Amino acid sequence: MFSFAVEASDILITYLKNAHNSETPEECACRTVSVYAKECLRHGIEEMKSWRDPETCPLKCPEGKIYKSCGPDTQPSCASPELSATSNSSCVEGCYCPEGLLLETGRCVPKSECLCRVRNRTYPPGTVIPKSCNTW
pLDDT in tens, 103-130: 998 999 999 999 888 878 888 888 887 7
Measured distance between the N- and C-terminal CA atoms of the chain, rounded to whole angstroms: 61
Burial of 103 (0-12, 13-18, 19+ CB in 10 A): buried
Which part of the chain has CATH 2.10.25.10? 59-114
- Do 27 and 55 meet the contact criterion of CB atoms below 8 Å apart? no
CB atoms within 10 A of CB 28: 19
| Confidence (pLDDT) at 89 | 64
| Confidence (pLDDT) at 1 | 39
| Confidence (pLDDT) at 2 | 41
The Cα 4–Cα 67 span in angstroms is 28
CATH hierarchy code of domain 59-114 = 2.10.25.10
